[in-house]
Amino acid sequence: MTQTATGQVRTLIAIYISVLLIGCLFGITMPLLSLRLEWMGASKSINGLSAAIGVSSMLIMAPFMPRILSWLGTKTTMLWACLMASCALSLFPIFADIMPWFPIRLFFGLALTALFTCSETWLNLTVPAKNRGLMLGLYGTILSVGFSLGPYLLSLTGMAGAAPFTMAASMTILAGLAIFLLTNNVKTDAPDKTSGLMNLWVKHPTPFLAAFLFGGIETGIFTLLPVHATMAGLEAAAAAQLLVAVGVGNVAMQLPIGWLADRVNNRLLLAICALSGLAGGVALLLLEVGSPLMMGWLVFWGGAVVGFYTVGLSMLVKTSPSELIPSMNAGFLTMYGLGAVLLPSASGLAMDHAGLMGLPGILIFICASYLSLLTWRWWGHRRLKHSL
């Protein structure tokens, strides 16, 4: 094995170790921060505002990441982000008042966005274009496994005191240690006018809108599916089990979808994802919520919908020159964040006005709209090809 190949393997190992730990960090902090705020007397709206600040930090930070990576490089950026996240986690238990948690949550969200954008960019710069779909699928699988382990680790420390925050901070320190020991710094090219996010979104609407859909569907499902189930008469504990089925699909299918993304037309795969998403909305209308058939469908559906992210990002970076990859990743994450903010809000309003029709109706509408876009662009490319 050449030195270059050895360096690539060491970099991939460090990235995947850090992603596993960051996934654990997410699985720990999402329930921890919400429940601790509730214990401190925060209202549901204040708790929701705190969560919105976490998502909004993605929209603030992601557009700046290409410039930061060109200034600091991948390794230095990851180390600083790990330090920022660790400091933020150490600050949470110090303050017993609710208000200081908001700027800390924003600071923590900025650090997490830097970690995600940098790790994905670094992965795509390290892996050959022909294997990027598979490696992105592995990345997503490891992240999902870490996310699933988070609540279990939280159960070991409990919710009270500083212990859960200390454990979460240790995850970022270990991630930083893996990056420090196994990698070399890689500075990316400075972004130019052609790598502006708006310019990229206009040129590549299909994959970027896939990120928008995935952000909205993932956040909406994990936030509102249990609410939909309780509205249909399911007990709260049984409603939460629906998310377990979706999570199993997320873990099980990302790697096969990534493998397919390297071998099958990506627009066709995205069309299958859109059809699956549409069918999921129909299933919520027709199937008995909580039935074995519904649980089995949710496993498949959870895996198929995650293809929006894996296939969409693979489609972008496989044919992009290396100097555009940081901007592609930043734009993709920004669109994910926009979807995560806008679509669940629309779904919540639809549920308020249309009841059990609300969530399925939004899912059917957005997936059908995306499928129409894919069909229109395919027809346009076909006509252009025949006219030449």
Q: In this predicted structure, which of 39-43, 80-84, 162-166 has the lowest mean pLDDT? A: 39-43
Contact 65, 329 (CB under 8 A): yes
DSSP summary character for residue 159 = S
pLDDT at residue 103 in the model: 92
pLDDT, tens digit (0-9, with 9 covering 90-100), for 40-80: 887 666 766 777 787 788 889 999 999 999 999 999 999 99
Superfamily of domain 1-186: MFS general substrate transporter like domains (1.20.1250.20)
CA distance 232 to 214: 25
pLDDT at residue 342 in the model: 86
pTM: 0.87
Percent of the chain's residues with pLDDT above 70: 95
pLDDT of residue 207 exceeding 80: yes
Sign of the alpha-carbon torsion through 315, 320, 323, 328: negative
Q: Do the first three CATH levels of 1-186 and 194-388 match, i.e. the same topology?
A: yes
* Structure token digits, residue 245: 């089925």
Q: Which residue has the higher pLDDT, 160 or 43?
A: 160
pLDDT at residue 2 in the model: 41
If pLDDT is split at 50, 70 and 90, which confidence band does 3 have?
very low
Residue with tokens 């390794």: 75
User: Which CATH fold would you assign to the domain 194-388?
Assistant: Growth Hormone; Chain: A; (1.20.1250)
Percent of the chain's residues with pLDDT above 90: 46
pLDDT, tens digit (0-9, with 9 covering 90-100), for 291-344: 899 999 999 998 899 899 999 999 988 877 888 888 888 999 999 989 988 888
Q: In this predicted structure, which of 228-242, 323-337, 350-364 has the lowest mean pLDDT? A: 228-242
pLDDT at residue 233 in the model: 87
CB half-sphere exposure, 220, CA atoms < 13 A? 31
- From residue 358, how far is each of 77, 136, 304, 348, 365 by CA, in Å? 42, 33, 22, 8, 11
- From residue 376, how far is each of 88, 135, 206, 369, 373 by CA, in Å? 46, 30, 11, 11, 5
pLDDT at residue 1 in the model: 38
Domain boundaries, the chain: 1-186, 194-388
